Chain A
Amino acid sequence: MKVALFLTCVNDTMYPETGKAMVRLLRRLGHDVEFPAGQTCCGQMHLNTGYRTQAKHLVKGFAETFDGYDAVVTPSASCAAMIRDWHPRLAPRTAGLASRVHELTEFLVDVLGVTDVGAYYPHRVTYHPTCHSLRMLHVGDRPLRLLKEVRGIDLVDLPDATQCCGFGGTFALKNAEVSAAMCADKVTAVRETGAETLCAADNSCLMHIGGALTRTRAGVRTVHLAEILASTEEEPA
């Protein structure tokens, strides 16, 4: 199986550790992954801000880059949902490729058939199910099934977990006050858990919540799910 990593523009630029964790994790599970150099962005920011023409160019670029792969795996539920849901609407010919794109937890559970990935992460962790992972991609409990198998982990429930954190891409800038109010409630919920680590399947939401956590000196780190799953005793995250 020829597997390509679609890291997404945000992770590539701002969160390279998530990409390295993906590579480490998949190799440990006996699979290799390629990083097609032509990749850039799925077009979500442009589409969701109303710049449809720009988005279409990026959709086309994505299809050209990934067309030859059996599977594409990405550490962003939001971008996976964009590709799965919107790419075929913007460019009908991409429907075949879109169905071969998997978010990381879907890829592990559905394609590779594993939930115990041999991870070790001895911390108190809470999980935020991001909106697009929940309601567009319908990843369900896959992330939690993976997390429950991590050795040493103390997994605690997040109150009102399914409430949006208020990121929403350019929403965070266009409606900054409402976004900040939503984030403040999410931060309160995270602090109530007493967790040291907040994890999610999307670094964008974590960037938003994490920015408020450090601003309020909450002492909670934000870590992408992939980094927890890649973490071992020999190579801790």
Chain B
Amino acid sequence: MTSQNAMPTYLGMPSFPDAAREAVADARLRGNLAHATGTIRERRAAAVAELDDWEALRESGKQLKDHVLANLGHYLRRLEEKVTEAGGTVHWARDAAEANRIVADLVKATGETEVVKVKSMATQEIGLNEALAEEGIAAYETDLAELIVQLGHDRPSHILVPAIHRNRSDIRDIFRKEMPDAPADLTDAPADLAEAARRHLRAKFLSAKVAVSGVNFAVADTGTLVVLESEGNGRMCLTLPETLISVMGVEKIVPTMRDLEVFLQLLPRSSTAERMNPYTSAWTGVHPGDGPRDFHLVLLDNGRTDTLADEVGRQALRCIRCSACLNVCPVYERAGGHAYGSPYPGPIGAILSPQIRGIGSDVDASLPYASSLCGACFEACPVAIDIPEVLVHLRARAVEDGPRHPVERAAMTAAGWTLRSPARLALAQRAASASRRIVAPRGRIRRLPGPLNAWTETRDAPAPPKESFRAWWARTDGGRTDERTEEGQ
């Protein structure tokens, strides 16, 4: 069952086309996105090209993930056993509400009212910060870009670069207004901004008693959790506080330590275009005198079991959150991340959100259509998720279970009826030909009626020809006779 609060839809989220409209009209935003994604795209292509076994690695990543998904129950039990043996405590959460309740109770049990966080998609998915705030607990994001988003009372718009929609003067303004310890004369030089954030965060790290993290990979065989990051702030979160609470989607498992070898190549090259990410932290339970004294792992289902039950859709659970699909997606590049209405933007969001949340809302029913099916995402995906296949699959579900679109349904039914018979198609073609003098006196159509007007807002439509090919073929015996007659008319 997909629960109502599986993943909070951003408040009042309209369907994708409506949400995208604003972004498309914002020339500066489009410029920023085109520049940023263009740069990452090129760097990623170069990083991938360095490895001559990339396709084999990609296949390994795909197979490992598929193997885990096919045996998920086994690996989850193994992980629980190993984490428990190492002194950690495992909690199971069916949905967002349950996960948030578990984390809030764990924090409250420490008597603390502040937590530091290392960037985590899973906790964004469940809206943990908001849930903690309701319990009087303040959660501080420590990833620089997440911090910018949080201080700006904003939403992340990219998985890897959550503040991709902000430029440095925006960031200076946000820091000056919202960061109490920011210098009054803060400039928008990147080094100054980074230094201000560093000082601000350092104070948080040294005082925090509780940290919340996500998990990139969990090794079932050893109970080891792994986080990959670039700034080292995550490592501060993972090592300094007394209590560490990690939240992970149930699909994030790899069987053994050796399997990490595949993913530690696939992930950095696909996401940051680096051969290796700067910080990789791995921890197994608790150790006296070293790191947190208390460790909790929250295993989050939140629609994943439902997704796993879908033969075509389940491949979305292979995702390692690298964001390569966002950076190559021409639709993401124009529409920006917010239009996707969840922490998972871009092509992966378009297939993940409607599966996790169900297809009932306007935004979820519109997401499978937020793609031209150009296939660039599939080509870039390091674990070979056939995103176009899942999009098409979910479109069928949207037609069956989503909001009704009577005009579209009627048009598609009529088109289907016409196309099922060559005689009816020929009749429709004759009608189109007959209309050419009326609809397109100068050979092109400047304005189409009804929903088709969306086409002619910016594009001409071609005029129907005097004669369809099939009519020409029949009249001239496949061009063997009498070809000149029509031209002479």
Interface residues of A in 183-222 (CB under 8 A from B): 183-184, 207-208, 210-212, 214-215
A31 interfacial by beta-carbon distance below 8 Å = no
Residues of B contacting A155 with CB < 8 Å?
Answer: none
Contact sample, A vs B, 27 pairs, CB 8 Å cutoff: A9-B419, A15-B465, A16-B465, A20-B469, A35-B478, A37-B470, A46-B415, A48-B395, A51-B396, A51-B399, A51-B416, A132-B375, A136-B375, A166-B372, A168-B371, A168-B372, A171-B371, A172-B455, A173-B454, A175-B331, A175-B369, A177-B20, A178-B331, A182-B330, A183-B458, A212-B460, A215-B458
Smallest beta-carbon distance B423→chain A, Å: 9
Residues of A contacting B470 with CB < 8 Å?
Answer: 7, 12, 35, 37
Most buried by A among B397, B420, B421, B474: B420
A222's closest neighbor in chain B, by CB? B462
Per-residue 0/1 for B349-379: is the Cβ within 8 Å of any A Cβ (1 yes, 0 no)? 0000000000000000010111111111011
A40 interfacial by beta-carbon distance below 8 Å = yes
Total number of A residues with any Cβ neighbor in B under 8 Å: 66
B30's closest neighbor in chain A, by CB? A181
Q: Are B461 and A211 in contact (CB under 8 A)?
A: yes
Smallest beta-carbon distance B450→chain A, Å: 10
Interface residues of A in 141-171 (CB under 8 A from B): 162-164, 166-171
Q: Report which of A61, A132, A180 forms a contact with B457, defined as CB distance below 8 A.
A: A180
Residues of A contacting B457 with CB < 8 Å?
Answer: 176, 180
A163 to B379, CA, bound (A): 13
A183 to B472, CA, bound (A): 32
Interface residues of B in 403-420 (CB under 8 A from A): 408, 412-413, 415-416, 419-420
Q: Report which of A16, A24, A174, A215 forms a contact with B468, defined as CB distance below 8 A.
A: A16
Q: Are A20 and B416 in contact (CB under 8 A)?
A: no
Q: Are B412 and A46 in contact (CB under 8 A)?
A: yes
B422 interfacial by beta-carbon distance below 8 Å = yes
Q: Are B469 and A37 in contact (CB under 8 A)?
A: no
Residues of B contacting A23 with CB < 8 Å?
Answer: 478-479
- Chain B residues at the A interface, C-beta cutoff of 8 Å: 16-17, 20-21, 24-25, 30, 330-331, 334-335, 366, 368-376, 378-379, 392, 395-400, 408, 412-413, 415-416, 419-422, 425, 428-429, 432, 444, 451-452, 454-462, 464-465, 467-470, 472-474, 478-479
A179's closest neighbor in chain B, by CB? B372
Smallest beta-carbon distance A205→chain B, Å: 10
Q: Report which of A16, A24, A58, A174 forms a contact with B17, defined as CB distance below 8 A.
A: A174
A131 to B432, CA, bound (A): 29
Q: Are A51 and B24 in contact (CB under 8 A)?
A: no
Residues of B contacting A15 with CB < 8 Å?
Answer: 465, 469
B379's closest neighbor in chain A, by CB? A135
A224 to B66, CA, bound (A): 42
Residues of B contacting A177 with CB < 8 Å?
Answer: 17, 20-21, 24-25
Q: Are B372 and A7 in contact (CB under 8 A)?
A: no
A54 interfacial by beta-carbon distance below 8 Å = yes
Residues of B contacting A7 with CB < 8 Å?
Answer: 469-470
A47 interfacial by beta-carbon distance below 8 Å = yes
Residues of A contacting B420 with CB < 8 Å?
Answer: 40, 57-58, 61
Q: Are A13 and B373 in contact (CB under 8 A)?
A: no
A30 interfacial by beta-carbon distance below 8 Å = no
Q: Are B30 and A57 in contact (CB under 8 A)?
A: no
Q: Are A41 and B419 in contact (CB under 8 A)?
A: yes
B456's closest neighbor in chain A, by CB? A211
Smallest beta-carbon distance A51→chain B, Å: 5
Q: Are A54 and B412 in contact (CB under 8 A)?
A: yes
Q: Are B17 and A176 in contact (CB under 8 A)?
A: yes
The 7 A-B pairs of least Cβ separation, nearest first, read: A168-B372, A211-B459, A50-B395, A135-B375, A50-B399, A164-B374, A54-B416
Q: Report which of A163, A167, A173 forms a contact with B451, defined as CB distance below 8 A.
A: A173
A163 to B396, CA, bound (A): 26
Residues of A contacting B452 with CB < 8 Å?
Answer: 173
Most buried by B among A7, A168, A173, A178: A178
A9's closest neighbor in chain B, by CB? B419
Q: Report which of A16, A38, A136, A182 forms a contact with B372, defined as CB distance below 8 A.
A: A182
A15 to B395, CA, bound (A): 29
Q: Report which of B330, B366, B372, B465 forms a contact with A14, defined as CB distance below 8 A.
A: B465
Q: If A16-B469, A50-B398, A181-B334 touch, does A40 touch B419 (CB 8 Å cutoff)?
A: yes
Q: Are A58 and B459 in contact (CB under 8 A)?
A: no
Interface residues of A in 33-84 (CB under 8 A from B): 34-35, 37-41, 45-52, 54, 57-58, 61
Q: Report which of B17, B373, B396, B469 forms a contact with A131, defined as CB distance below 8 A.
A: B373
Residues of A contacting B379 with CB < 8 Å?
Answer: 135
B424's closest neighbor in chain A, by CB? A40
A134 to B374, CA, bound (A): 9
Q: Are A214 and B369 in contact (CB under 8 A)?
A: no
A13 to B465, CA, bound (A): 8
Smallest beta-carbon distance A45→chain B, Å: 7
B329's closest neighbor in chain A, by CB? A164
